[in-house]
Structure 1
Amino acid sequence: MSVLKITEANFVEEVLNAKEPVLIDFWAAWCGPCRMMSSVVDEIAEELHGVKVGKINVDEEQELAGKFRVMSIPTLLIFKNGKVEKSFVGARDKKEIVDALKIQVTE
């Protein structure tokens, strides 16, 4: 599955109302660690079934970033049933993120 561009306009439909767990990557083009994590997030979207993956550009979607108190980027949030179940701040190991997502898929 490809990575979705999440905006204020599609956030409720794509994230809060999603039937499957959703991984959201809050990022910015000027952020080095965000660029590093971008390929990891892309790989997860392609490899992990039963999960929706999206990215939110904090420069374009400041209201969403503020709503979820994103103070540092990259910030990754895992949503399930419209609620944040897990969060990661900073560059992380792919396995750590995948393991957290697999728990959400099986619960």
Structure 2
Amino acid sequence: MSKFTNLIQNSEVPVLVDFYADWCQPCHMIAPTIRSIKNKMGDQLKIVKVNADNNQKAMLKYHVKSIPTLILFHKGKILWRNAGVIPEVELLKVINQYI
């Protein structure tokens, strides 16, 4: 089992996965939101950034067709997903439903 799979299946707290690419402008736009949420949530949430160019298997497995795509997992189950940029206040509302 890969480290990534182990994390999303066995984490005691929800895991927010950010599928991104270095060349993706919207990915750069959402990066400050992701950092802010990490600071606000602390140990209540894990955040994992997955480079889409280097992780094609994960992209296929989770049907990621565009980036940025955010997927919230808990115990291996997808709780929520969003493709594109989302305002921080909206993302916090979603996360707080599962914390």
Structure 1 residue ranges, 4+ long, deviating more than 6 angstroms after superposition: none
Query: Hey, what does 2:46 align to over in structure 1?
Result: 52
Query: Hey, what does 1:98 align to over in structure 2?
Result: 92
Unaligned stretches of 5+ in structure 2? none
Aligned residues: 98
Task: State the 1:47 CA deviation.
Answer: 1.1
Q: Residue 69 of structure 1 aligns to which amino acid in structure 2?
A: H
Query: Hey, what does 2:73 align to over in structure 1?
Result: 79
**Alignment partners' CA distance in 2, 1:75 and 1:59:** 13
Unaligned stretches of 5+ in structure 1? 1-7
**Alignment partners' CA distance in 2, 1:86 and 1:64:** 16
**Cα RMSD, aligned residues only:** 1.2
Identity %: 32
| 1:34 counterpart (23, 27, 51) | 27
TM-score, normalised to structure 2, is 0.93
SS at match of 1:73: coil
